[in-house]
Amino acid sequence: RREPLVLGIETSCDETGIGIVRGRTLLSNTIASSMDEHARFGGVVPEVAARAHLEAMQPSIEAALKEAQVSLEDIDAVAVTSGPGLAGALMVGVGAAKALAVGLDKPLYAVNHLVGHIAADILDDAAAPLEYPTVALLVSGGHTSLLLVHDLTGNVELLGETVDDAAGEAFDKVARILGLPYPGGPEIDRAAVTGDPTAIRFPRGLSRASDREKHRYDFSFSGLKTSVARWIEQHEAAGQPVPVADVAASFREAVVDVLVTKALDACQAYGVPRLLLGGGVIANRRLRDVATARGAAAGVTVRIPPLRLCTDNGAMIAALAAELIMSGHEPSTLAFGADSTLPV
């Protein structure tokens, strides 16, 4: 059977991602980001992101087709992220996808952004095929979720998620407190290089024994952020200079520790020796190293796809739709909208 040629559209946050795949083969993955436009606000501004998607959509589609060396008429199906994400941003992608599908008279697949992140692994041709079940930890500026994946195309279980800020958001907010520019993740990573990760013991959110029942796999980063702010305030009030490198390293350690601990806890509890990482925060060197080392010690193989497939992109959305098509799933009807809180 012929492998479907799928064009995927991703607009859930600030990346306009257009990807084209043929079955499990990546043909193109163009990403236009409006990050620079959000920098002066210290975080993604939904309205600004939506407008940027609208402007980037057509040129991005053209660029993706060119890179893949296919024409629009060759496309077998259109895929789009219908949620979760920023409502206004999602609507731009959903509208464009519907227009394309109707215009081309091709099937349309509405897919879940988080499951899309897992599908990114399929396009990593350096890796052996993903085995099931697998635990997945998705960490970005918009989400922090721990999932148990039984089957990519039908059975993905949400084990836990952040109850307040996303991990990347915490990096961005703490960077701001430290006077570092947006996005904060790379800045903190850089500042932490010369710092001592054990200098300050910042709290690990939802890790108390009393949290184990209700929030065993959930995350919380707002208390950590407040704790960093308070520590700095006290330091400044005492007239001492702020040791930025130590604060950055200690904060990063707290985030990484709680992410890896909970993910490996889930692997152990469900007897799953596989952990897949995804989302923009996995660019963090310390997170990659700690997850890999502690995973190895626990007998868990940690999979980290290339960064371009881990940050938000359209190729992962196309890849998921291709899996749905190849496993016989019906396309979506045109009657779906953008759902900012779409469950997995």
Q: Which is nearer to ligand KG4, 189 or 246 (CB)?
A: 189
Q: Which is nearer to ligand KG4, 160 or 168 (CB)?
A: 168
- Rule CB under 6 A: choose which of 168, 195, 197, 305 binds ligand KG4: 168
Site for Zn ion in 133-162 (CB under 5 A): 140
Nearest to 91 by CA among 81, 79, 100, 77: 81
Tokens found for residue 49? 């992101």
Say whether residue 144 binds ligand KG4 (CB under 6 A).
no
Q: Give the shortest CB-9-to-ligand KG4 separation in angstroms.
A: 16
- Rule CB under 6 A: choose which of 8, 142, 205, 314 binds ligand KG4: 142
Site for Zn ion in 308-337 (CB under 5 A): 312
Q: Which is nearer to ligand KG4, 109 or 182 (CB)?
A: 182
On whether 235 is known to bind a ligand per the annotation, the reply is no
Say whether residue 186 binds ligand KG4 (CB under 6 A).
yes
Tokens found for residue 51? 């407008």
The answer to whether 264 and 137 are in contact (CB under 8 A) is: no
Q: Give the shortest CB-117-to-Zn ion separation in angstroms.
A: 6
Nearest to 311 by CA among 205, 185, 190, 128: 185
| 69 burial type by CB count under 10 A (0-12 exposed, 13-18 middle, 19+ buried) | exposed
- Rule CB under 6 A: choose which of 17, 280, 295, 305 binds ligand KG4: 280
Phi and psi dihedrals of 72, rounded to 5? -55, -35
Say whether residue 189 binds Zn ion (CB under 5 A).
no
Torsion of CA 326, 121, 102, 30, to 10 degrees: -140
The answer to whether 265 and 206 are in contact (CB under 8 A) is: no
Say whether residue 85 binds ligand KG4 (CB under 6 A).
no
3-state percent breakdown (helix, strand, coil) of the chain, nearest 5 = 50, 20, 35
- Rule CB under 6 A: choose which of 259, 281, 300, 304 binds ligand KG4: 281
Q: How would DSSP label each residue in 306-323? A: -HHHHSS-HHHHHHHHHH
- Rule CB under 6 A: choose which of 161, 218, 265, 312 binds ligand KG4: 312
C-alpha 18/C-alpha 81 separation (Å) is 11
Using CB under 6 A, which of the segments 101-109, 135-143, 151-159, 325-333 binds ligand KG4? 135-143
The sign one gets for the Cα dihedral 292, 293, 295, 296 is: positive
- Binding site for Fe cation: what residues are annotated? 113, 117, 312
Chain residues in the site for ligand KG4 (CB under 6 A): 13-14, 140-142, 168-169, 171-172, 183-186, 189, 279-281, 283-284, 311-312
- Binding site: what residues are annotated? 113, 117, 138-142, 172, 185, 189, 284, 312
Chain residues in the site for Zn ion (CB under 5 A): 140, 312
